[in-house]
């Protein structure tokens, strides 16, 4: 694993100079995990943050009924568990690898000292955490005030964006998720997701063939997701 390259791919560390990168790279520990291995559990004492060099990690919580709610799924270039590094609290959610992954672990004490030594980096870290808070607030809004069909529309729009397609007009992308996996991510169950997806197709908003999803019109689907159709 090339530690410097992995750190430079992240928004948190990308602006550092060679000297600063060398300093923090020395503190980073390489981890290689197989699919299905836990990084940490919700409520566990936070020891530090993780940088994904390759692979995929799912961050989630369980409600009182034991149902899993996915907070976010991250790939290479993402930083995980930065919040408890700074508030000294436990991990607020659990994290598990969805595929074989390579990560860097940096102890929270090293990160804190690095912030004291480099105030500009500290401001960047705070900015990124603020963005994460906004995304979580949006997730709460979607789960609380939108029906399953709208949540599904939001997920499809996000997956299209992650696939690198443009946000104009008609667009097609490969959906790697099963209906069960979709249900977990939008706080529902598989049968309800299947019906919601069929409804989107019936209404002419999307087309699905062998997990290839075509959004007929990006703007129209956004209006539907926001309940402004």
pLDDT for the residue 144? 64
Sheet with strand 206-209: strands edge to edge: 171-174, 212-215, 206-209
Does the structure show a pLDDT above 70 at 136? no
Report phi then psi at 155, rounded to 5.
-65, -45
Asked whether 57 and 73 are in contact (CB, 8 A), the reply is: yes
Q: What is the pLDDT of residues 161-213, one digit of tens each?
A: 877 766 667 888 888 888 888 888 887 888 999 999 999 999 999 999 888 99
pLDDT for the residue 202? 92
Does the structure show a pLDDT above 50 at 25? yes
Does the structure show a pLDDT above 50 at 108? yes
pLDDT band of 72, cuts 50, 70, 90: confident
| H/E element, 158 | helix 148-162
Contacts of 74 (CB under 8 A, 6+ apart): 52, 56, 57, 59, 80
- Enter the DSSP assignment of 12: T
d(CA 186, CA 199) in angstroms, rounded, equals 16
Does the structure show a pLDDT above 60 at 228? no
Mean pLDDT taken over the chain: 87
pLDDT band of 229, cuts 50, 70, 90: very low
Q: What is the pLDDT of residues 40-71, one digit of tens each?
A: 999 999 999 999 999 999 998 877 677 777 88
Does the structure show a pLDDT above 70 at 143? no
pLDDT band of 145, cuts 50, 70, 90: low
């Amino acid at each position: 694993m090339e530690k410097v390259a992995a750190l430079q791919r992240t928004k948190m560390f990308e602006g550092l100079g060679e000297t600063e990168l060398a300093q923090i790279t020395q503190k980073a520990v390489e981890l290689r995990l197989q699919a299905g291995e836990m990084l940490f559990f919700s409520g566990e004492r936070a020891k530090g943050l993780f940088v994904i060099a390759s692979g995929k990690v799912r961050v989630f919580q369980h409600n009182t009924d034991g149902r899993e709610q996915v907070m976010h799924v991250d790939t290479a270039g993402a930083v995980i568990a930065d919040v408890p590094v700074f508030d000294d609290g436990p991990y607020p959610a659990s994290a598990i690898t969805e595929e074989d992954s390579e990560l860097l672990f940096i102890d929270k004490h090293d990160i804190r000292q690095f912030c004291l030594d480099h105030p500009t980096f500290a401001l960047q870290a705070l900015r990124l955490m603020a963005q994460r808070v906004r995304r979580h607030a949006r997730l709460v809004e979607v789960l609380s005030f939108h029906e399953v069909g709208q949540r599904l529309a939001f997920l499809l729009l996000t997956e299209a964006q992650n696939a690198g397609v443009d946000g104009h007009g008609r667009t097609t992308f490969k959906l790697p998720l099963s209906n069960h996996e979709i249900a977990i991510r939008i706080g529902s169950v598989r049968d309800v997701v299947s019906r919601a997806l069929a409804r989107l197709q019936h209404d002419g908003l999307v087309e699905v063939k062998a997990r290839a999803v075509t959004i007929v019109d990006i703007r129209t689907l956004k209006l539907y997701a926001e309940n402004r159709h």
